[in-house]
Amino acid sequence: MSALVDIRDMCKVYNPGENEVRALDHVNLTINENEFVAIIGQSGSGKSTLMNMLGCLDIPTSGSYFLHDQDVSHLSDDELSDIRNKEIGFIFQGFNLIQNLTAIENVELPLIYRGISKKERTKMSETALQKVGLENRKTHKPSEMSGGQQQRVAIARAIAQAPPVVLADEPTGNLDTASSKEIMQILKGLHAEGRTIILITHDNDIAAQAERVIKIMDGSIVHDSAGKNE
Ligand SMILES: Nc1ncnc2c1ncn2[C@@H]1O[C@H](COP(=O)(O)OP(=O)(O)OP(=O)(O)O)[C@@H](O)[C@H]1O
Ligand SMILES: [Mg+2]
């Protein structure tokens, strides 16, 4: 079986020239379908930069990235956005919900961009909200929900269209312990359903709940519990 994610010799250099920052420094990484991977590292180690690459939000300075056997390292913005819509659900630390939309409207928004009919959208959004235990908060706005509930709405939004890959950047970073636990349970459930989960965190306890832990330091992978990539 070929890998879901296959990154070879990837570098990302910000501000090339005198003030250059080598945020990713010759990274090699393969992730198979249905893995649950945590990427851990200190502030500034390159985690978000790697997430931007994994999520096709940015392209590398050099090296290659094959996602589902497609070379995505040289695509245009439009092509990248198509791949993101098809393949990836994003969860961010700051939830990134739209404040004047209700929970269900937030979940529906990306489905509108995908051209899915109103009826189908409602069904998909309700199912996703149910999955995160928020069917009774459908018409609440973000300001009317706790941080943990807002993050669950963001997860529902990320999974409504059943993307094969869920990418989460510090999804529990703004949450208390109880809410963090709930979010981890939901991610574990998605993994059990067959999704690939890639979780970025600086919290060792959170990372320890993943199947595989990859440590990044100064833009390089310095440890991989699966024993790959080194
Ligand atoms: N747009 C940018 N322009 C210039 N340098 C950048 C840019 N984005 C990130 N960097 C630098 O690249 C390095 C890696 O940053 P990155 O955001 O990937 O770190 P991180 O591991 O996600 O940190 P944190 O845990 O604080 O979120 C840092 O030294 C950062 O200052
Ligand atoms: Mg970051």
Place of tokens 């939004």: 157
Q: How far is the CA of 186 from the centre of ligand 2 (A)?
A: 22
Query: Per the structure block, which two tokens stand in for 156?
Result: 């529902």
What's the 3-state SS for 177-226? HHHHHHHHHHHHHHHHCCCEEEEEECCHHHHCCCCEEEEEECCEEEEECC
Pairing of strands 5-14, 21-31: antiparallel
Pairing of strands 220-224, 212-217: antiparallel
Return the best residue to mutate from 20, 27, 47 for the ligand 1 pocket (most ligand atoms within 8 A of CB): 47
The answer as to whether 25 is a domain residue is no
Are 176 and 210 in contact, with CB atoms under 8 Å apart?
Answer: no
pLDDT recorded at residue 228: 62
The answer as to whether 42 is a domain residue is yes
Q: Where residue 115 falls among pLDDT bands split at 50, 70, 90?
A: confident
Percent with pLDDT over 70 in the chain = 98
Tell me, using a 6 A CB cutoff, whether residue 21 lines ligand 1.
yes
Q: How far is the CA of 120 from the centre of ligand 1 (A)?
A: 39
Which residues, in sequence order, are bridge partners of residue 37? Answer: 198, 212
The answer as to whether 107 is a domain residue is yes
The answer as to whether 64 is a domain residue is no
The answer as to whether 4 is a domain residue is no
Global model pTM greater than 0.95: no
What number is the average pLDDT over the span 140-148? 96
Instruction: Check whether 230 has a pLDDT greater than 60.
Output: no
Each residue's pLDDT tens digit, 151-201: 999 999 999 988 989 999 999 988 889 888 989 999 999 999 999 999 999
Ligand nearest to the CA of 16: 1
The answer as to whether 102 is a domain residue is yes
Ion ligand 2 residues within 5 Å by Cβ: 47-48
Q: Where residue 34 falls among pLDDT bands split at 50, 70, 90?
A: very high
Domain count across the chain: 1
Each residue's pLDDT tens digit, 54-82: 999 999 999 999 999 999 998 999 999 98
Q: How far is the CA of 202 from the centre of ligand 2 (A)?
A: 9
- CATH number of the domain bearing residue 100: 3.40.50.300
Tell me, using a 6 A CB cutoff, whether residue 52 lines ligand 1.
no
Domain span at residue 125 reads: 36-59+77-226
Tell me, using a 6 A CB cutoff, whether residue 110 lines ligand 1.
no
In 10 A of CB 199, how many CB atoms?
A: 28
Tell me, using a 6 A CB cutoff, whether residue 155 lines ligand 1.
no
